[in-house]
Every structure is written in structure tokens, then in C-alpha cells.
Amino acid sequence: MEIQLWREILSPYEQAVTELVEKFQHLSLEHRERGLYSPIEQVTGRVKSITSILEKMKRKNIPFEEMEEQVEDIAGIRIICQFVEDIQRVSDLIAGRSDMEIKCIKDYIAHQKESGYRSYHLVIYYHVETLNGPKKIQAEIQIRTMAMNFWATIEHSLQYKYKTNIPPYVKERLANAAQAIIALDGEMSSVRNEIMNAQNSSLMQRNLVMDI
């Protein structure tokens, strides 16, 4: 397919990623401006590469006409939280919004993937305004803790290196690391209130200094 056609297809997704990243960053800012703890630590986004879209269509036997409906993560947003508890708060914030409609939820925290992958995915419908009028597209929002993100980032690069053939001894290490991540998130949750209080008071002090 011609590159120009791909550009036209992917352009609304690029717009959606830019808008969604901005909206979630603003949500985080709003919390901080009100002196509230923000469940959102960091937001990133990307449009799936053409190669990755084609690879997924081939793997899942998706015909071209169904690409935009069936490849749900052409627009991808990643929200990183400090604590596991923050993930549900972010999901609730999304559910309460009028500009995002939840299509489905994939809870890989309650149901960890075989690889050890843990993350909370929401597929949403989102409207973008284009030259041809409004377009309803899908976006996948991945919500995970910093610790889960650390594991997923390392494992993703190993998948890239080994394709589907990660050696058994590496798989075993990854499985051990996944268990360690669960323990780490649990430990952090147990001191969540203390950490949140400490962060709030340092934020308030900073605001006071800026007011002077």
C-alpha cells in the first residue's frame, strides 16, 4: 500500500495520541494544583508502526477492511502510576469522562499473562475532528505501576532480541523477576499513606515558596 494512504489512515490516530497524552497530563496537573495526590505519575503515547500493524494483522488473520476495528492499539497511551491502588483510580477517572467511551477492559493484573506480564488495559472509543469531519477511533490505554513498567520494558526488549524464542533460563529469570515485582508493589502499597503524605507536604512547601 502507498505510503500516502498509510499517512491518511494514521493521521487521526496521531491526533488522538497527542490529544489524549495532553488530557492525561492535564488531569495530573489539576490534582497537583489543588494540592491533591495525583494517581498519574507519567504519560506517554505512540502510534503503532506500520510494520507492527501488518505483523499483527498477519498473526491474527485480520483482513484490511477490518484493520481499524480489530487492531485496537493503533493509538496507544501508557499511564504510569506509583501504586497498584492508583490504577483503579485512573480507570474510574476514565470511566467518568464524557469524551472517552470504554469498549473493553483487559485486566492482566488479576489475570497475569503467561509471560509474567502485568498491566491494566482499557480500549476506548474517542472522537477526533478531521478535515473530513468527526472520526470515531479506538485507542488502547495501558495503566501500570512503575515496577510493572520496568519489567515490561525489559521483557519487551528481550522479545525483540529473541523474537518468539526466549531461552528457558531467561524465561525463568523473568518469571522470578515478575514475582519480585508483585512483592515490591505490595511493599510499596503497605507504606502508601506515608509516602503520599510525604509527597503532599513537600508539594505544599514548594507551593508556599512560589507564593512568597
Which residues have a catalytic role annotated? 140
Question: Is residue 52 a contact point for ligand 0O2 (CB under 6 A)?
Answer: yes
Angle between helices 168-190 and 192-211 (to 10 degrees): 70
Q: Which of 54, 117, 171, 182 binds ligand 0O2 (CB under 6 A)?
A: 117
Residue 62 buriedness (CB in 10 A; 0-12 / 13-18 / 19+): middle
CA distance 80 to 72: 20
Tell me, rounded to whole angstroms, the distance of Cα 74 from its chain centroid.
Answer: 13
Question: Which one of 1-9, 88-96, 150-158, 178-186 is the stretch in contact with ligand 0O2 (CB under 6 A)?
Answer: 150-158
Between 15 and 121, CB nearer to ligand 0O2: 121
- Measured from the CB atom, the residue of 27 and 53 that comes closer to ligand 0O2 is 53
To 10 degrees, the CA torsion angle through 116, 119, 123, 128? -130
CB 54 within 8 A of CB 69: no
Strands 42-47 and 101-107: unpaired
Give the binding-site size for ligand 0O2 (rule: CB under 6 A): 12
User: What is d(CA 118, CA 121) in angstroms, rounded to the nearest whole number?
Assistant: 10
As given in the structure block, the three cell numbers for residue 167 are 531461552
118 scored as a contact of ligand 0O2 (CB under 6 A): no
* 152 binding ligand 0O2? (CB under 6 A): yes
The residue range among 24-32, 87-95, 152-160, 194-202 that interacts with ligand 0O2, by the rule CB under 6 A, is: 152-160
Of positions 19, 86, 155, 185, contacts ligand 0O2 by CB under 6 A: 155
Choose which of 7, 97, 113, 206 interacts with ligand 0O2 (CB under 6 A): 113
> Given the rule CB under 6 A, which residues bind ligand 0O2?
48, 52, 56, 73, 106, 113, 115, 117, 121, 152, 155-156
